[in-house]
Structure 1
Amino acid sequence: MSATVWALSLAHEIGGSPEGLAAALARLSTGLSEAEADRLCGYRRPEDALRFAAGRALVRSLVLDVQDQAAPHPVRAKDIVFGQRRGTTKPVLAEQCRGLVRGVADFNISHDGDWVLAGVAGRGAIGVDVARVFCPEDMGDREYIGEFETQLSAREAAWLLERSTDRLRDFYRIWTAKEAYVKATGAGIAAIDLRTIDVALPHAGKAMCVQAGGEDAPFAFETGVLGDGGYVFCVASAPGVARAIRTVGIGDVERCLIPAR
């Protein structure tokens, strides 16, 4: 069993024009359910509508790609319906399609700015998060990180402010790890005191270590950068599960969503 993560750069596909955005939105809306299409119409900003459509299209294309190896019968995009896990904020495969979809135990979606990330896991849970490395122009990185003091553990804050050699990027690597952990558990960001999640970034040959409530988190974590390094991401998945992370284009997504499949 493995976990597969696809990353899609919307900026690359759009080309910086309203026409490119509209064309990308039309292409990525393929396979949306009626409820999702209605939700799409509710977005005031086309950029937000595009991110929503891209997230759903990316997950569906991933599920369909997995089916090539795992399912005895073809599954179509319209067969993949999403619901919500009871008692959590996490989207899951709806009950009516679980008998059709094989080899997918969990999935997750994240988007920020120009990038959309989606992951599926064949075993256990998965959480993914992507974030743009950003600091307001009128603030220094130390001041900006200080704004998040109530979400950082004492060790994290001290390490960032006193020892990190790339303070802003490392802050976002820690932040995406916290988000990936919370999303893997399905608890929801508002339900967890983020100070209780302590992230030690990989260094000096040591692997990334994440603790929650003083105990080792029941996930393995992988952090990385996207594009020119302006974005960072983190994936949390079951220990021992091989992870494959790939950058894809809209054409790759469309090929998986072809109705004939």
Structure 2
Amino acid sequence: MWQVRIIAFQPNDIHVFLNEKALALVDAKSRQKLKQFYHKEDAFRGLIARLLPRLLVKEYDIGSEDLFFGTTQHGKPYMTITSAAPIGYNITHDNGLIGMVYSTGDDLFADPPAYRLGIDVMKLSPPKGERIIDFINIFSEQLTALERSILLTNPPLPESETLRRFYLIWTLKEAYTKALGLGLGFDFRQIEYDVPRDKVRINGNPPIGWQFVRFQVNNMESGQEYTYVGVAARFVSERNGGEQEVEGKVESEYPNNWLKIQSAVSFMEEASLKLGNWN
């Protein structure tokens, strides 16, 4: 099984749920780190990011004594479970959204214990005080010639479409490198996303055995609705990839209810109910 879970929050949620009772749902080391955040928004995002995998394993009836959290040498978080099948996951957040992609059992391939799963999400907000073309040019060295051509068209695209394409390109690149568990310094030009055709190439070739799914989520923040886009990437093995997926195709439909969206209010209430005596 695999799924993407998105938790959406509003500014008021921070003041309601960022308290000692909520912090008690995670371990002492995590509580200490969360209290060190200067901005409450960062602490709240960090709290939900820690609760997401804990609530996930709770759903599989796994006790905290059988669970260990760690990071790879490149800093990618993972968890190991001593009493059950492994679960791979990856977390992302931006502004009012926190997302997690996870996979279990036979859907996990390559590079344990973190496995090859990645997710990234970004808010479609225009750069402040900067022209779109100048904003795109800042990242030009990380874009391929094709990607620049589909962003900086003649005549120009509407700014909203230019931003949507750019953020989809960027989140796919981030999701793929996070799935590989790579550190900083990876050349993003090795990854090319042709957004209009929903095609991906890695070093000019279709990425055999990989699945990419893009998604869009709207969230109300301070009385205004904002749009986010994101991409989840996972390795499904060379054995199955050619049979189950069109190589290099980015999916956008909702197969098998893989996308679950939940408000922070309901998520925190559920976490408090199910994890109250878990640690």
Task: Report TM bin, short chain.
Answer: 0.7 to 0.9
CA–CA distance in 1 between the matches of 2:259 and 2:22? 20
Deviant stretches of 4+, over 6 Å: none
- Within the candidate set 21, 26, 39, 1:32 is matched to 26
Deviation at 1:100, TM superposition (A): 2.5
Partner of 1:90: 76
Distance 1:46 1:234, change over 3 A: same
Deviations 1:208-256 (A, max 9, x none): 3222222323421111111155211110013459671101232344444
1:196-207 correspondence runs (5 A): 196-201=190-195, 203=197
CA–CA distance in 1 between the matches of 2:32 and 2:175? 28
1:46-61 correspondence runs (5 A): 46-61=40-55
Deviation at 1:88, TM superposition (A): 2.3
Partner of 1:211: 201
1:167-206 correspondence runs (5 A): 167-188=162-183, 190-201=184-195, 203=197
- Within the candidate set 137, 140, 158, 2:149 is matched to 158
Partner of 2:94: 112
Letter of the aligned partner of 1:150 in structure 2?
E
Partner of 1:6: 5
CA–CA distance in 2 between the matches of 1:78 and 1:10? 30
Compute the TM-score of the two structures, normalised by the length of structure 2.
0.76
CA–CA distance in 2 between the matches of 1:91 and 1:236? 16
Q: Is the 8 A contact 2:212 2:233 kept in 1?
A: yes
Distance 1:8 1:40, change over 3 A: same
Report % sequence identity: 25
Letter of the aligned partner of 1:245 in structure 2?
L
SS at match of 1:223: strand
CA–CA distance in 2 between the matches of 1:78 and 1:41? 24
Q: Structure 1: give runs of 5+ residues left out of the alignment.
A: 68-73
Q: Does 1:102 align with 2:89?
A: no
What value does the CA root-mean-square deviation take over the aligned residues? 2.4
CA–CA distance in 2 between the matches of 1:39 and 1:126? 25
Distance 1:102 1:42, change over 3 A: same
Distance 1:160 1:139, change over 3 A: same
The number of residue pairs the alignment matches comes to 237
- Within the candidate set 232, 237, 251, 2:234 is matched to 237
Distance 1:35 1:145, change over 3 A: same
Deviation at 1:56, TM superposition (A): 0.9
- Within the candidate set 123, 131, 138, 1:132 is matched to 123
Deviations 1:58-109 (A, max 9, x none): 12212333x1xxxxxx323564331012x32211114xxx2124251x1100
